[in-house]
Structure 1
Amino acid sequence: MQSQDKQETPVPLVSYIKILESKFDIKFSYINEDVENISIAVPNNLVSLNDILEYIQSQFQIKAQKLSDRYYTLTKTSLVTVCGKILDNFAENTIPGATVEVFGTEIAKTTSADGSFSLEDIPRNATLKIRYLGYNTKYIGVDNLINEGGCPLILMAQHYEQLKEVIVYKFLTTGIIKESDASITLNTGEFGILPGLIEPDILQTVQALPGIKSIDETVSDINVRGGTNDQNLILWNGIKMYQSGHFFGLISAFNPYLTDKITVIKNGTPAAFGDGVSSVVQMETDNELSTNFTGGAGFNFISGDIYGQIPVTDRIGLQFSARRSTTDFLNTPTYNKFFDRAFQDSKVTDQNNIAVDDDILRDENFFFYDFTGKLLFDINDYHKFRLNFISITNNLNYTENNLTNLETTNSLLNQDNLSIGGQLQSQWTDRFSSNVNVYYSRYNLDAQSLFANQIQILFQNNQVLENAIKLSADYALTDKLHWNNGYQYIETGITNTTFLTTPPFDSEIKGVVRIHAPHTEISYASDENKFIGKAGVRFNYMENLGTFANFLVEPRFNLNFRLANYLRGEVLGEFKSQTTNQIIDLEQNFLGIEKRRWILSDDETLPITKSKQGSIGINYSKNDFYLGLEAFYKEVDGISTNTQGFQNQGQFDGEIGSYDIKGIEFLVNKKSGNYSTWLSYTYNKNDYTFETIVPSSFPNNLDITHTLTFAGTYSYKNLQVGLGANFRSGKPFTEPQDGDLAFDNSVFPSRINYKSPNSSRLPEYIRVDASAIYKFNMGRNIKANMGVSILNMTNRKNSLNKYYQVSEDNEIEAVESISLGITPNVSFRVHF
C-alpha cells in the first residue's frame, strides 16, 4: 500500500542527503540555497542510490551528476517541468478551464476537467499567473511549487464583492421586478404564470403592468400611458425593431426562451435612449457563454419552435432559435379564433341598424416564421464580442368571393424584418468599462389588393433601412458615484410607394434622417441607499436631407429616496423626441394594423414629435406585500391625424396637433410561497388639441378612463394555475349626425356628416382569462411541461372599434370590430 511505500514523516532534504552520504559512503557537492526549504519523503520501496537520485530529480528538478565513485554534485536545472491541480479554497471542487500562464510570456494552458495542468521547459525562476472568472487571480513562483514536490494542490479564493443594497420589488408572478429606477424587469428564465398565458410571450406579458394595455387586443399595438404603438422604442439586443408581431399583431415575434431579460421604462428614461416618446421596451438575450449544450422545443395550436445554446470552445458559443406557424397546413381552434379576429369578426349594419350580411366565400393561405442567432466570443476576460441576427416574416394570400354581387377580391401581404448587429463590451479597469454597438436593420412591407374582379389594383410598399453606431463608456468616480458618457449616430431611410390603377395614381416618397446624439449621465447612491438618483442630458442634432435641421436638448432625471421603513418615494421626468411615425392607410381594409406604414418627420406635413413627462410615486413593500401608487402628466406635441387612426371627419386631413394625458396608476399585490393575488387600477384623462378642428379639444382615440384588473395565481407541487378578470371603460368613437343631417349628397362622392369628434363611447370591455401549467421530468436531464389556456372564457362579445362608411347603395353603414371569442390553446414543451 501507499502508506507502506513512503516514510511516515517528510524530512528536510539537507538531512536526507547526509543520510545518503552515510549509508552509501559518498559525498555530495551542492549550493545550500538549492536544497534549503525542501522536505522529502522517499518511498520505502526505493532502495538503490540511482532510484533515489532519479526520484529527487523528478520531484524537485534537482539533477545529480556522478563525478567519481565517491563524489556527486546536486544542481538545480534551469528549465523545469511543473504540474499541479487547482481547487477552490474549500479544497472540495476542482476548477476546470482555469488559465495557467507563465507570467510575462505567451506560454499558457487551461486546466483539464479535474483541474490539473502540466507545463514543460519552464524557467525555474518564472512566476505562474492563474485566472478564472469568479476567483481572485493567483500568482505563484515555479520554484515554490517544485519545492512542494510532485503535483501539489493549488487553492484559489473565490472573488467576493461587497454589493450595495438593491431596492427592488417583486410582484405579480416570479420573474417580474420593479427596480429602484422605476423600470420593470422581466426575467423569462424565472417567469411563473399569468392568467391566459401558458408561454412567456414578451409583449403579452408587459400588458399585465399598470399603464400598459392594447386597445385592440394585439401585441403590435401596445399603448403606454395613452401613446400609440409607434411611440414605443422596441429594442432587441440594442437593435431597433420596426416589426414586433405575428398574425397581425396577435402573437409576439420574439422567442422568449433565449431572451434573458426584458426592461420596460415608462418614464425617467436614461439619457442613452433616444426615440420612443411613450416608452422603451428593451430585450436582451442570454449574454454569457454556456459550458454545456442546453435547449428546448415545443409547440402549441399556432406554431412550433426550437432553441439551443451550443458551446464551441471555452471562449466561443452559439445561440439559435427558430419558430414556424402551422397555420398554412393545420386548422386548430386557436387559429380559427385568431383568424376570425383578424378578418371576419366584424359586424356591418345599415342606417336602420339591420345587419348587412353578404354571402362571402373566403380562402386564405397564411404563415409566419422567425429565426434568431447569436455568436458569443470572449476575446479574453476583459473583452467580449457578440454578433446578433434576427429575421421575422409574415406572409398572406387572402381571397374573398362575394356570391351576392359575384365579385372577387384578392389581397397579398409580405412583411419581414431583417437585422444584424455587433457588440464589443470591454472592462478596461475595475472602474472603467465601455460598450460599442453597431447594427443594420431592414423592414419591408409589400401589400397588394385586387378589387372587384381586378377592376382596381392597389400596390403599396413600405421599406425602412437603418444603420447605427452607439458608443458608451462608464466610469466609477467613487464607489457611490458613476459617470456615463456616449455618442450615437443613427441614419434612417424610409421609402413609401403607392400605385393605384383606378383612378390612376403613382407615388414614391423617400426620405433620410440622420441623428447625432452625444449624451451624459451621472448616478449616485448614498449609504444604505437612502437616496438613489440619476440625472442626465441627451443632445440631438437631427437633419432630414434637404428639409430641416434641428438641435434638441433633452434632460432626464430619476430620483428614489427612503421616506420611512419599507416606504420609498420616487420622482421622475424626461424630455424625449422621435422622427419616425406610422401613418394608417385605408383603415377600413381588412388588413387593419398591418396597413400601417412608417414615415419620417419632414418638419412640414409631419414635424418632429416631442414629449414632456413628469411623475411622482410611492412604494411600500413588507413581508411579500406590495403597494404602489404613481401619478403622472405627459404632453406630446407634433402628432398628425394621419398617425392616430381617425375614422371620422379628421381622417384624411393631416392636421397637426398634440395630446396631453393625466393619470394615476395603482397596484396592490400580496404573495406567499404558493400564491399571488393582485389588484391594479389606472385612471387616465387623455385629450387631443387640434387648433384647426372644431372643437379644438376632444378625447383621444386611446382615452380609456378606467382600467381595472383583478387576478391571482396558485402553485401546488408541479401545477400552476392563473385566473384573472380585466375591465376597462369604452373607447371613444364618432357617430354621424342624427336623422337627415347625417348624410351630405351635395358632393361626390357622398359624405357623412359627423357629430363632435369622439363624443360617443363604446360599451365597457370585460374579459376573463385562465391558464394552467403542469411541469414534470421526462428523463434525468429532460424537463417538460404542458399548458392549457382559455382567453375570454365567458365568450363575451366586446366591441373594440366602430366606424361608419358609405355603401354602394349610397347609405351609411356601421362597421364594428369584435374582440376574440372564447379561445383555447394548448402547449407542450421540453427543456434539456
Structure 2
Amino acid sequence: MKKALLLVYSLFILFPCLAIGEQEISIGHKGMTFIEFTNDLNEKYQIKIFFDKTWIENIRLKKSYSNENITDILTDIFAGTQLRFIAKDNLIVLTKYENIKQEFSLQEKVANTTKEVEYVEENKDISNLQEQEYKIHEIGTALGKKKVKLFGEVSHFESSQPLKGVEIYLLNLTKGVTSDKNGYFELDLPPGFYTLHFKFMGLKSSSRKINLRGDGRIDIQLISETQTINEIRVLAKDDKVKRTSMGLEYIQAKDIESLPSALGEPDIIKSTTMLPGVESAGEGSIGFNVRGGSADQNLILIDNAPIYYPAHFFGFFSAFNNDMIQDASLYKSSIPVQFGGRISSTYDIHSNNQIDNKINGKVGISPITTKAFLNVPLLKNKLSIMNSFRFTYSDWIVDKIDSKELVDSKANFYDLHGKINYKPNPNNQFELSYYNSKDEFQLHSDTIYNFNNFVSSLNWRHRFSEKLKMNNSGYFTSFSYDMSATEIANNAFKLTHRVNEGGFKAFLNYEKDLYTNIDMGTELKYYNISPGDMKPYSESSVVSKNNLPEESGLESALFVGIKHEFIGSITAEAGIRYSLYGNMGKREELTYLDGITSRYNILDTLSTSAGLNNIYHGPEYRISINYALNPSTSIKASYNRTRQYIHLLSNTTSISPTDTWKLSDKYLKPQIGDQVSLGFYKNIFNSTMEFSAETYYKKVQNAKDYKDGAQLFLNKYAENEVLNAEGKNYGLELFLRKNKGRFNAMVSYTYSRSYLKSKDKTGEFAVSDGDWYKAPYDKPHNIKAFFSFKLSRRFIFSTNLVYHTGRPATYPIAKYRLQGIPIIYYSERNEYRLPNYFRTDISLLVEGNLKKNKAYHTSWTFGLYNLTARNNAYSVYFRSEDSFVVGYKLSIFGNAIPTISYNIEF
C-alpha cells in the first residue's frame, strides 16, 4: 500500500489537472457502500480515490449529497473515524497517518476540521535546510480566488527562538512585511510564482521559491552568519521609521549581556536607564523616572502580571534572571489601549515562550551571586518547563560601601522564576508563569528587614483564524515586607505591610486586511492593601499596637483601538480605554471644615456603605499618526491620556521596599496624565544607523507631593500629609544608534523639565506661595553613550558613559535664634541641586573556544563599574554640630567596583 501511495504522490507532481475544490457534485444515497461511492465518483466526475480496502469496509453513506463540494462530502462521510484524506486536482488519497509533510500543494481534511497543509522546516540538518532554497514549494489549493493569504513563522535555526523584525519581501513587487514578536508574518498576494526573501541582521539571508495557488503556510528557519558565535548588538533591530507608535523602545535580553553593570549581572530593568527620556532614581536604586514622572508612575509587567518591587539588594540587582527573559517593550507615549493603570510608562516584559526539543541550561557564578537556568522539554514541540534560581552571598560587598550607616550590616536574597509552556496544537498555547523571591537585610542596627514577592500568571493565546486572535490572561501578585527589632525587649516590635492585586484581561486582535488592524478587550483588577500593622514583639515590650484598616478597590476597563494604513504614506492608530474605579467595603472617612484636609480641620468621622464607593471613571484617549516622507524618513505625532488609581507614599525619590502603597479614595484623587508628542525619525547610511528626535509636553492632574515635615509612617489619614498637586513635564530627546557591523554605538541627549504646583497659596499645604517649583526628579540635562567593539569572534569590549544634572534639593540657608532657641531657615522647596552625576563603566566579554561540536559553551565577563572612582552624591543631609550646621554628602559607590562572572551554557 505504501508503494501505491508513493506512486500517487508522484502523479500529483507529473499530472496536474483541474482543481476538484471548484466542482459541485451530486452523488450517493443512504446506505451506499464506499466502494459504490468511489465507482460513481470516478464514472461521473473522473475523480479517483486511492485507499486500503480494510479501512473502508464498514463505511456507508448516511444520506445523499446535492451540489456540494467533494471535500465537504468526504469530511462528512469520515466524521467519527480516524481517516484523513489528501486532495489535489482530481486525485484523492486516504490515509491514517498523523503527519504527512508535503512540498507540494495539498489540502488536508479531518472530520469537522479543515486546515492548509503546512510546509514547516524542522530538520536540524543544515544541508537539508539549504536545499530548500532551490526547490519550488507548492502552497495552497487553487480555488479561483483573486487574492490569497500567505502566512507563516520565522525562527532561528540553532535556538528555535521566534524572530521579531525579519524583513520578508518580494523584489519584483517592492512589497514586504516584517515579522511580529512571535515571528509571525502574512502577505496578501494574487496566485502565482514568487521568490520570497528573508533578511535579518546577524543571520544569513535566505529565499524560497513558491507556487502560490491558495491560502497556505510556510515556516522558515534562518541560520547564523557563522555557526560558532552570534553577533552581539546593542539593541534589537527595531525600525522606528516604519512603526506608528512613538516613545516605544524594544529590548531583547541577549542584547544587554554586553552592557556593563554595577555588580556584573545583566539587568533588564536597569538597561532602561540607558534609553533617552529615562533616568535612574538614584545610584543602585531600582526605581526609574520616565519623562519627568515619579518612580511609582511606571507599570512593570512580567508575562502580563504587575510586580511592585522588581529588585534585590537595595536595588542593585533586578528581580529577574536575564536567562529567563525573552524581550521587553517600554512605552513612554502612544501607550497601547490594552495597558492602563499608570500615567508615565508601561514596561512590558516577556519571559521565554519557546518550546525547545532538547534540554538546555546555563550556570553563572560571580563573587556575589550564583544562578542556574534549566529548560526541559516534556513533550516534543508541545510541552516544556523552565526554571531559574539565584541566591547571593553578598555580605562582603556591603562592607565595601563607604557609609557609616552600613557598618556591621548584612544582606542576602534568593529568587525562583519559572514557566510552563504548553502548545497542544498550532492554534493554542498556554503559559503558566510563577515568580517568588525573598530578601533579608540588616542596616547597622538590630532592625531586620524582610520583603517578599510572589507573582503568577496564566496566559492563553488562541487563534480562531489567521485574521482573528485572542489572548486571555489571569494573574495574582503579592508584595509584602516586615520590619522587626528584638534585641531590646522593651522596644521589641514587628511591623508588616502587604499589597495584593489580582486581575483578568481578555484581548482580541482582528486583522481585517493588510491595512487595518483592530484591538479590543476588557480588563478587571482587584486591589487589597494592608497599609501597616505594628505589634509589640514580646510581652515586655512597651511598643503600642497600631493596626491600620485594610483597603480594597476594584478597577475595570473596556478598550478598543484601530490601526489603519491609508493610501499614500500615512498610518494612524486611534483608540479609547474607558476605566472605572471604586473603593470596596466599609471604611471610615473624616470630614473637614471647608473641605481642607488638615488635622486641624477635622469635623467628624463617617462610615461608608459596604458596596462600591468613591467611584471615579473616565475615558483614556490614545491617538498617533505616522507620515512617511520617504522609505527612510518619517514624522509622527501622538496624544494619550492615562489614569492611575494606586499611589506610593514615600518621602524618598526612589522606590524603597518599606514604602506604603495607597489606593485612591475620597481625598486622594486619581492621577490623570495628558501627553502630546512630536517626533522626527531617519535611517541613514543605508539603514546602518538611525536618528530620532522626540519632543513632548505632559500635564498631570492630582500629582502627589507632601507638605513640609509630612508624617507618613502608620498614618491612618494620609490625606492630612499629601498634596494633590498639579504637574507639568516637557522635554526633548535626541537619539543616535549604530546597530550593524563590528562596532555598535548608542548616544542620546535628553533635555527634560518637571514641575509641581500646590493648589494652596497659604497655610500648611502651601509650597512656594502656590507657584511652580521643581519636582524631586527634575534633571534638565542627561547624556548617555554606549560603545561596543567586537575585537574578534571571541572578544567584545564595551563601555558606557552617563552624565546628568543633579536632582533638586532643599538646603538650609540661614540660622537665627528666637527667644534663645536656634532656628534653621530653609530655602524654597527644591531650590538647589545635588552635584552633577558622572560615571564610566567598562566590560570585556570573552567567549570560550569556537569548536562546533562540544557539550557546553563557556564565557567570562570582566567589568569595572565607576571607572573614575567618582564620589557621586546619592543625597546631601545636614546636622547641627557645635552651633554650626554641617552638610554631609552620601555616596553609594565611592570607588571603582571590579566584577567578574563565569558562565556555562549547554
TM-score when scaled to structure 1?
0.75
Offset, 1:641: 2.4
Which of 199, 204, 212 is residue 270 of structure 2 equivalent to?
204
- Tell me, yes or no, if structure 1 residue 217 matches structure 2 residue 283: yes
Could you say what secondary structure the match of 2:284 adopts?
A: coil
Which of 785, 801, 816 is residue 740 of structure 1 equivalent to?
816
Aligned to 2:368: 302
Give deviations 1:274-303, integer Å, cap 9, x for gaps.
Answer: 112111111111223212222211122221
- Tell me, yes or no, if structure 1 residue 705 matches structure 2 residue 780: yes
Question: In the superposition, relative to structure 1, how do residues 259 and 196 fare at CA in structure 2: closer, same or farther (>3 Å)?
Answer: closer
2:704 partner letter: S
Could you say what secondary structure the match of 1:242 adopts?
A: coil
Give deviations 1:245-301, integer Å, cap 9, x for gaps.
Answer: 000111100121121110110001011101121111111112232122222111222
Offset, 1:805: 5.3
- Tell me, yes or no, if structure 1 residue 761 matches structure 2 residue 848: no
Offset, 1:394: 0.8
Offset, 1:521: 0.5
- Tell me, yes or no, if structure 1 residue 265 matches structure 2 residue 234: no
- The answer (yes or no) to whether the contact 2:83–2:110 under 8 Å persists in 1 is no
Offset, 1:653: 3.6
Question: In the superposition, relative to structure 1, how do residues 685 and 382 fare at CA in structure 2: closer, same or farther (>3 Å)?
Answer: same
Which of 656, 662, 672 is residue 599 of structure 1 equivalent to?
662
Q: Distance in 2 between matches of 1:592 and 1:471?
A: 31
- Return 131-140 or 490-499, whichever deviates more: 131-140
Q: Distance in 1 between matches of 2:99 and 2:494?
A: 65
Offset, 1:314: 3.0
Give deviations 1:27-49, integer Å, cap 9, x for gaps.
Answer: xxx99x99x99xxxxxxxxxxxx
1:107 partner letter: Q
Question: In the superposition, relative to structure 1, how do residues 475 and 706 fare at CA in structure 2: closer, same or farther (>3 Å)?
Answer: same
Q: Distance in 2 between matches of 1:258 and 1:102?
A: 48
Aligned to 1:804: 878
- The answer (yes or no) to whether the contact 2:492–2:543 under 8 Å persists in 1 is no
2:258 partner letter: I
Offset, 1:103: 5.9
Aligned to 1:394: 439
Q: Distance in 2 between matches of 1:725 and 1:177?
A: 23
Q: Distance in 2 between matches of 1:826 and 1:317?
A: 35
Question: In the superposition, relative to structure 1, how do residues 533 and 831 fare at CA in structure 2: closer, same or farther (>3 Å)?
Answer: farther
Offset, 1:369: 1.1
Aligned to 1:819: 892
Offset, 1:802: 1.6
Could you say what secondary structure the match of 2:657 adopts?
A: helix
Aligned to 2:842: 770
Aligned to 1:368: 413
Counting only pairs closer than 5 Å after superposition, residues 634-649 of structure 1 correspond to structure 2 as 634-642=698-706
Offset, 1:810: 8.7
Question: In the superposition, relative to structure 1, how do residues 189 and 131 fare at CA in structure 2: closer, same or farther (>3 Å)?
Answer: farther
2:750 partner letter: T
Q: Distance in 1 between matches of 2:58 and 2:708?
A: 78
Q: Distance in 1 between matches of 2:889 and 2:461?
A: 51
Could you say what secondary structure the match of 1:664 adopts?
A: strand
Aligned to 1:104: 79
Counting only pairs closer than 5 Å after superposition, residues 1-40 of structure 1 correspond to structure 2 as none
Could you say what secondary structure the match of 2:335 adopts?
A: coil
Which of 703, 727, 731 is residue 663 of structure 1 equivalent to?
731
Aligned to 2:238: 177
Aligned to 1:406: none
- The answer (yes or no) to whether the contact 2:233–2:255 under 8 Å persists in 1 is no
- The answer (yes or no) to whether the contact 1:195–1:711 under 8 Å persists in 2 is no
Question: In the superposition, relative to structure 1, how do residues 785 and 527 fare at CA in structure 2: closer, same or farther (>3 Å)?
Answer: farther
Aligned to 1:465: 500
Aligned to 1:583: 649
Offset, 1:652: 8.7
Could you say what secondary structure the match of 1:205 adopts?
A: helix
Aligned to 1:20: none
Which of 728, 731, 740 is residue 807 of structure 2 equivalent to?
731
Could you say what secondary structure the match of 1:753 adopts?
A: strand
Q: Distance in 2 between matches of 1:645 and 1:727?
A: 31
Aligned to 1:517: 557
Aligned to 1:280: 346
- Return 162-171 or 184-193, whichever deviates more: 162-171
Offset, 1:789: 1.1
| Higher CA-based Rg | 1
Q: Distance in 2 between matches of 1:429 and 1:729?
A: 52
- The answer (yes or no) to whether the contact 2:237–2:739 under 8 Å persists in 1 is no
Q: Distance in 2 between matches of 1:374 and 1:637?
A: 39
Aligned to 1:616: 678
- The answer (yes or no) to whether the contact 1:127–1:140 under 8 Å persists in 2 is no
1:287 partner letter: N
Offset, 1:241: 0.6
Offset, 1:535: 0.8
Question: In the superposition, relative to structure 1, how do residues 797 and 126 fare at CA in structure 2: closer, same or farther (>3 Å)?
Answer: closer
Could you say what secondary structure the match of 2:870 adopts?
A: coil
Q: Distance in 1 between matches of 2:754 and 2:56?
A: 85
Percent of matched pairs sharing the same residue: 19
Give deviations 1:165-208, integer Å, cap 9, x for gaps.
Answer: 34999997143636522311111245552244754310121111
Offset, 1:814: 3.6
Q: Give RMSD over aligned pairs.
A: 4.2
Aligned to 1:50: none
Aligned to 2:620: 554
- The answer (yes or no) to whether the contact 1:473–1:485 under 8 Å persists in 2 is yes
- The answer (yes or no) to whether the contact 2:285–2:655 under 8 Å persists in 1 is no
Offset, 1:136: 7.4
Which of 692, 695, 699 is residue 628 of structure 1 equivalent to?
692
Offset, 1:128: 6.9
Question: In the superposition, relative to structure 1, how do residues 502 and 296 fare at CA in structure 2: closer, same or farther (>3 Å)?
Answer: same
Aligned to 1:689: 757
Question: In the superposition, relative to structure 1, how do residues 463 and 62 fare at CA in structure 2: closer, same or farther (>3 Å)?
Answer: closer
Offset, 1:658: 2.4
Aligned to 1:486: 521
1:187 partner letter: Q
Could you say what secondary structure the match of 2:466 adopts?
A: coil
- The answer (yes or no) to whether the contact 1:101–1:108 under 8 Å persists in 2 is no
2:672 partner letter: K
Offset, 1:710: 2.9
Could you say what secondary structure the match of 2:816 adopts?
A: helix
Q: Distance in 1 between matches of 2:51 and 2:904?
A: 54
Question: In the superposition, relative to structure 1, how do residues 266 and 574 fare at CA in structure 2: closer, same or farther (>3 Å)?
Answer: same
Offset, 1:673: 1.1
Question: In the superposition, relative to structure 1, how do residues 775 and 523 fare at CA in structure 2: closer, same or farther (>3 Å)?
Answer: same
Offset, 1:515: 0.8
Question: In the superposition, relative to structure 1, how do residues 736 and 141 fare at CA in structure 2: closer, same or farther (>3 Å)?
Answer: closer
Q: Distance in 2 between matches of 1:213 and 1:722?
A: 21
1:794 partner letter: T
Question: In the superposition, relative to structure 1, how do residues 736 and 818 fare at CA in structure 2: closer, same or farther (>3 Å)?
Answer: same
Question: In the superposition, relative to structure 1, how do residues 795 and 517 fare at CA in structure 2: closer, same or farther (>3 Å)?
Answer: same
- The answer (yes or no) to whether the contact 1:297–1:831 under 8 Å persists in 2 is yes
Q: Distance in 1 between matches of 2:265 and 2:829?
A: 40
- Tell me, yes or no, if structure 1 residue 428 matches structure 2 residue 464: yes
Aligned to 2:865: 791
2:702 partner letter: G
Which of 414, 429, 453 is residue 417 of structure 1 equivalent to?
453
Q: Distance in 2 between matches of 1:651 and 1:802?
A: 28
Aligned to 1:325: 391
Question: In the superposition, relative to structure 1, how do residues 524 and 62 fare at CA in structure 2: closer, same or farther (>3 Å)?
Answer: closer
Q: Distance in 1 between matches of 2:315 and 2:422?
A: 34
Aligned to 1:495: 530
